[in-house]
């Protein structure tokens, strides 16, 4: 934790250890600063998302050649790879807090709707996002017990940002919810493929009508749920055939097939050769140095 205090300037800059998080959204750092007059950053790029919330004063944010004057209760977002510059006003320099993070599909809403055009939005004083951000600033990232608090506050903060934006972008909310269903289904398959599960089990876990789920899954991934489950099992089976000496029947059970014959039949259909021949061919390739 870095805490520099002075009569006219205060900077709190907390770096979060990378091991704190292992899921798709990862908190990099967060902080707070009472900026000096003319304090600036850039032009430059980030390799992660960086979101500033202005608590007081004003400043200037430049992106794509457009300069905007920002004041209290506004926020500005910097996405990975964007060239930006921002500077505190010379007369009334801003005070702001920031949060830096990375994420996959869960952060897609930061590229759509209102934010896709301006990167600037309002966060009024009563917004819960401000409350969670302030709680985050009071959290010591290096405390052993902070891992769950940091993760929880980060998600609460982003959820309030998402909620505010989705109130204005109803279609976006629907799309994100659909992605959540798909991610939930994929996660279930990845954690349970070794069990005797089928599409009905996936549908039950996700909690949707089977017909709607199948249509949604195919629309998003261009493949049916049944085919995805089979392909994932075949992928795992090939890994076991290449890296272990397990019998074909044992591998069949390891990837969720009760009947080794059905497994071998499915394997040949999707891979083109039998499990035994695949193992032989893989061994020959390793022996000849082919990767």
Per cent of the chain over pLDDT 90 is 61
Average the pLDDT over 173-184 and give the result. 80
Q: Return the CATH number at 261.
A: 1.10.10.60
Q: Are residues 21 and 67 in the same domain?
A: yes
C-alpha–C-alpha distance, residues 228 and 232, integer Å: 6
Q: Is the pLDDT of residue 22 over 70?
A: no
3-state secondary structure of 41: strand
Structure tokens at 124: 């009024």
Both tokens of 273, joined, read 């050769």
Q: Among 104-113, 134-143, 277-286, which stretch is predicted with the lowest mean pLDDT?
A: 104-113
> Taking residues 6-24, what's their average pLDDT?
59
According to the model, what pLDDT value does residue 103 have? 79
Is residue 102 domain-shared with residue 208, that is, in the same domain?
Answer: no
For residue 166, the model assigns a pLDDT of 67
Same domain, yes or no, for 215 and 123? no
Give pLDDT, residue 170.
58
Q: Residue 177 pLDDT more than 70? A: yes
* Average pLDDT value for residue range 154-162: 88
Q: End-to-end distance of the chain based on CA atoms, in angstroms?
A: 46
Tokens of 196: 């005797």
Does one domain contain both 234 and 120?
Answer: no
How high is the pLDDT of residue 172?
52
Average pLDDT, the chain: 86
184 lies in the same domain as 266: no
State the pLDDT at residue 98: 95
User: Which of 181, 201, 223 delimits the end of a domain?
Assistant: 223
* Paired tokens of 6: 């002075």
Residue 53: Cβ within 10 Å count: 23
Q: Within this chain, do residues 130 and 10 fall inside the same structural domain, yes or no?
A: yes
Q: In terms of pLDDT, which residue wins out, 48 or 145? A: 48
Residues 254 and 145 in one domain: no
Radius of gyration of the chain (CA): 25
Domain that holds residue 92: 2-168
**How far apart are alpha carbons 148 and 151 in whole angstroms?**
5
Q: Which of 183, 208, 223 is the last residue of a domain?
A: 223
pLDDT of residue 78: 94
Tell me: do 159 and 279 sit in the same domain: no
C-alpha triplet 259, 264, 269: angle, nearest 5°: 130
Residue 195 DSSP one-character state: S
Same domain assignment for residues 50 and 116: yes
Tell me, yes or no, whether 25 and 156 share the same domain: yes
pLDDT at residue 287 in the model: 64
Which of these, 140, 228, 135, 237, lies nearest to 188 by C-alpha position? 228
With contact defined as beta carbons under 8 Å apart, do 36 and 87 qualify? no
Average pLDDT over residues 118-124: 86
Cα separation of 150 and 132, whole Å?
Answer: 10
Q: Please state the domain count of the chain.
A: 3
> How do beta strands 26-34 and 40-44 pair?
unpaired
pLDDT in tens, 194-247: 999 999 999 999 999 999 999 999 988 899 999 999 999 999 999 999 999 999
CATH code of the domain in which 129 resides: 2.60.120.280
Last residue of a domain, one of 168, 184, 214: 168
pLDDT at 38 exceeding the cut of 90: yes
Joined together, the tokens standing for residue 256 give 């969720």
Distance CA 246, CA 252 (A): 10
The 10s digit of each residue's pLDDT in 56-74 is: 999 999 999 899 999 999 9
Confidence label for 19 from pLDDT (cuts 50, 70 and 90): very low
Q: Is the pLDDT of residue 156 over 70?
A: yes
Q: Do 16 and 140 belong together in one domain?
A: yes
pLDDT for residue 115 is more than 90: no
Question: How far is residue 24's CA from residue 203's CA, in Å, rounded to a whole number?
Answer: 23
Distance from C-alpha of 165 to C-alpha of 110, rounded to nearest angstrom: 9
Average pLDDT estimate for 119-133: 88
- Do 23 and 132 share a domain, yes or no? yes
Average pLDDT over residues 36-42: 95
∠ CA 80-85-91, nearest 5°, is: 140
pLDDT digits (tens, 9 = 90+) for 232-277: 999 999 999 999 999 999 999 999 999 999 999 999 999 999 999 9
25-36 per-residue burial string, b: 16 or more CB within 10 A, e: under 16: bbbbebbbbbbe
SS3 call for 169 = coil
């Amino acid at each position: 934790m870095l805490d520099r205090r002075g009569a006219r300037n205060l900077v709190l800059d907390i770096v979060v250890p990378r091991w704190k998080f292992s899921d798709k959204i990862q908190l990099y750092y967060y902080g707070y600063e009472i900026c000096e007059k003319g304090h600036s950053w850039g032009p430059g790029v980030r390799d992660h998302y960086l979101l500033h919330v202005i608590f007081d004063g004003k400043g200037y944010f430049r992106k794509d050649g457009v300069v905007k004057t920002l004041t209290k209760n506004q926020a500005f977002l910097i996405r990975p790879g964007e060239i930006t510059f921002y500077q505190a006003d010379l007369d009334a320099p801003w005070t702001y807090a920031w949060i830096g993070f990375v994420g996959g599909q869960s952060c897609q809403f930061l590229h759509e709707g209102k934010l896709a055009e301006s990167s600037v939005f309002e966060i009024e004083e009563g917004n819960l996002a401000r409350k969670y951000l302030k709680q985050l600033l009071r959290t010591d990232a290096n405390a052993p017990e902070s891992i769950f608090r940091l993760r929880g506050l980060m998600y609460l903060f982003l959820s309030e940002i998402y909620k505010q934006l989705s109130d204005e972008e109803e279609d976006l909310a629907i799309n994100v919810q659909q992605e959540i269903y798909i991610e939930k289904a994929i996660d279930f398959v990845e954690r349970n493929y070794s069990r005797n599960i089928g599409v009905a089990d996936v549908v039950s876990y996700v909690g949707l009508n089977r017909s709607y789920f199948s249509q949604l899954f195919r629309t998003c991934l261009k493949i049916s749920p049944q085919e995805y489950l089979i392909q994932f099992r075949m992928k795992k089976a090939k890994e076991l055939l290449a890296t272990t000496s397990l019998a074909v029947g044992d591998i069949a059970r390891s990837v969720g097939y009760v009947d080794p014959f059905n497994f071998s039949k499915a394997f040949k259909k999707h891979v083109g050769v039998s499990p035994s021949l695949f193992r032989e061919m893989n061994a020959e390739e390793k022996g000849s140095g082919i990767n």
